[in-house]
Structure 1
Amino acid sequence: MRLAFMGSPDFAVPSLKALMDAGHEIACVYSQPPRPAGRGKKLTPTPVHAFAEANGLEVRHPESLKSQDEKDAFAALDLDAAIVVAYGLILPKAILDAPKLGCINLHGSLLPRWRGAAPMQRAIMAGDEITGVQTMQMEKGLDTGPVFLTATTPITNDDTAGSLHDRLADLGAKLLVETLQELEQNGLESRPQSEDGVTYAHKLGPDDTRIDWNRAGEEIDWQIRGLSPFPGAWFEILQNEKPVRVKALMSEYLADRSGNPGDVLDDELTIACGKGAVRLSRVQKAGKSACSAEDFLRGNPLTLGSKVL
């Protein structure tokens, strides 16, 4: 098929590569504009942009697709379909309607659960036991279109947003290739989403990241793993009577341990919660690299009876 690919972050790169490997013609790649990044604030292309350029593909990065010039330029590509994977721009109706088969989206949840910006993180933070990826026909609503195909995966107690991201990116790339093959050969039918069980994966913000040790330990474990490695759930320790921020990047829920919320229960960085406790196994002190709890405790002794904030 003759395709446009519309995507921006790392999550979308395996999908673009899989479509190329499957022999589809990538007429053009659309991605978010380069943004300042790093200490030097150098303009940096998105991962999709960088991958596409490295593979000799035309890349467009408009700030918006609302102008008539952008709509005309897109229509002139004469596409069979546009593939959208975490692009980050709203597609006007003229864009949605331009390709012969419309725009096909890859979404990282089991719709209608977790429509929106942060489905992988929200699934872990809510304690979901299963998630997946789906291909869907795009329409004007937010992730409301009918679904073509689904691939599922369990969420384990060892999963972080990072590990789930990588697994779903690979699953999604395969699912997109399968979807296009079925559309091309068999005229794949889509099915409407259920009207029950709709939830929204709102964009992550500062209110999501601070750990409240009064919450149940199981919920804190979900929060920590759902926000790891970025942006990271955090707490504070006191050093020289000053609060210092520490990100918790990996944890384990311990239902059989208890104490006053925030109390350090042993020399393994086990911290009491409102119910149960969590044992932190990987952390990152402000201004330092991520490290194991063992290495952290060598330089930041938190002994039995200490307290974190």
Structure 2
Amino acid sequence: MRIAFMGTPDFAVPALKALHEAGHEIVAVYSQPPRRAGRGKKLSPSPVQRVAEELGIEVRTPVSLKGEEEQTAFAALQLDVAVVAAYGLILPQAILDAPAMGCLNIHGSLLPRWRGAAPVQRAILAGDTVTGITIMQMEAGLDTGPMLLKSKTPIDGKTAGELTEELAETGAELMVQYLASPSEYSAETQDDALATYAKKIEKQEARLDFNKPPNHVERQIRAFTPVPGAFFKFENVRYKILEAQVSNSDGEPGITVDDHLLIGCGAGSIQPRVIQKAGKPAIDLKSFLNGTKIPKGTLLQ
């Protein structure tokens, strides 16, 4: 098929590679414009742009698709379909209508649950036991279009990073499967009454709330690993907890129960396993305690 691929982060990379390996003609890749990153604040292309350039595919990085010039250029590609995976720009109706088969989206949840920007993190935070991938036909609404193909994935104790990687591979496989024989699949209308909204993650949400039960704190840690990183502050220094386990030991919320960084929560406590001090690499708890003493009875914020 003649395809335009539209994606930006690492989540979208497996799908781009899979479509290329499947022999589809990817005539253009659309991605968010390069962003300034790192200490030198140099412009850095997105993961999708880097891979597309390695594959020798034309890359387009418009700031918006609302203008007539961009829409005309998109229509001129004469596409069979556009495949979208975490692109990050709103697609106007003219873009949605241009390809013969419209625009198909790889979404990281089992729609209609968790429509929106952060479905993986929201599923973990909510304590869902299962999530998955939905291949859907895009329309003007936010992740409201008909569902074409779905696959379930158990969440278990995975972090958002681990789960996102797994879902990215599943999404790539499902999209290749669907495009191989789209006539075999029938569209299923979403039940709006079952919809939930996965709003964008705000940085302040990553601050650990030790007033919550330890199970919630542990989910918060997994949901925000690797980014933005669930954290607490001690002596005005930020520490991220990247891995932890729940403990039944009683303690006051936010106060260390012992000298080994067991932290009291609501009705229980949490034991960090991997910690990262601001500006330093992540280390295991034993190594951390060898260099940083946080005595019993310390209030963490």
Structure 1-normalised TM-score?
Answer: 0.95
> For residues 241-274 of structure 1, what are the alpha-carbon distances to aligned partners after superposition, in whole Å with 9 as ceiling and x for unaligned?
xx211111111122x2111112222344221101
Residues 1:7 and 2:7 aligned together: yes
Among candidates 282, 286, 294, match of residue 294 of structure 1:
286
Moved more, 297-306 or 49-58: 297-306
Please give the alpha-carbon distance, in whole angstroms, between the structure 2 residues aligned to 1:50 and 1:161: 23
Instruction: Give the secondary-structure state (helix, strand or coil) at the position aligned to 1:83.
Output: strand
Q: Quick one: percent identity of the two aligned structures?
A: 53
Counterpart of 1:284?
276
Please give the alpha-carbon distance, in whole angstroms, between the structure 2 residues aligned to 1:115 and 1:161: 16
Alignment size in residue pairs: 301
Please give the alpha-carbon distance, in whole angstroms, between the structure 2 residues aligned to 1:50 and 1:245: 32
Contact residue 203 and residue 228 of structure 2 kept, 8 A? no
Counterpart of 1:223?
220
Please give the alpha-carbon distance, in whole angstroms, between the structure 2 residues aligned to 1:200 and 1:191: 19
Per the TM alignment, residue 196 of structure 1 is displaced from its structure 2 partner at its CA by 2.3
Misfit runs of 4+, over 6 Å: none
Residues 1:162 and 2:161 aligned together: yes
Instruction: Give the secondary-structure state (helix, strand or coil) at the position aligned to 2:72.
Output: helix
Per the TM alignment, residue 197 of structure 1 is displaced from its structure 2 partner at its CA by 2.2
Contact residue 269 and residue 281 of structure 1 kept, 8 A? no
Per the TM alignment, residue 288 of structure 1 is displaced from its structure 2 partner at its CA by 1.3
Moved more, 269-278 or 86-95: 269-278
Among candidates 243, 246, 252, match of residue 250 of structure 1:
243
Residues 1:181 and 2:180 aligned together: yes
Per the TM alignment, residue 219 of structure 1 is displaced from its structure 2 partner at its CA by 0.7
Mark the runs of 5 or more structure 2 residues left unpaired by the alignment.
none
Per the TM alignment, residue 305 of structure 1 is displaced from its structure 2 partner at its CA by 3.1
Which runs of structure 2 are paired with 1:36-185 in the superposition (5 Å)? 36-157=36-157, 159-183=158-182
> For residues 69-127 of structure 1, what are the alpha-carbon distances to aligned partners after superposition, in whole Å with 9 as ceiling and x for unaligned?
11111111111000000000010101000000000000001111111111111111111
Moved more, 298-307 or 103-112: 298-307
Contact residue 238 and residue 278 of structure 2 kept, 8 A? yes
Please give the alpha-carbon distance, in whole angstroms, between the structure 1 residues aligned to 2:195 and 2:244: 29
* AA partner of residue 97 (structure 2): D
Mark the runs of 5 or more structure 1 residues left unpaired by the alignment.
none
Counterpart of 1:234?
231
Instruction: Give the secondary-structure state (helix, strand or coil) at the position aligned to 1:280.
Output: strand
Please give the alpha-carbon distance, in whole angstroms, between the structure 2 residues aligned to 1:206 and 1:31: 24
RMSD: 1.1
> For residues 160-192 of structure 1, what are the alpha-carbon distances to aligned partners after superposition, in whole Å with 9 as ceiling and x for unaligned?
111001110111110111111121xx3521101
Instruction: Give the secondary-structure state (helix, strand or coil) at the position aligned to 2:192.
Output: coil
Which runs of structure 2 are paired with 1:14-25 in the superposition (5 Å)? 14-25=14-25
Structure 2-normalised TM-score?
Answer: 0.97
Please give the alpha-carbon distance, in whole angstroms, between the structure 1 residues aligned to 2:181 and 2:263: 51
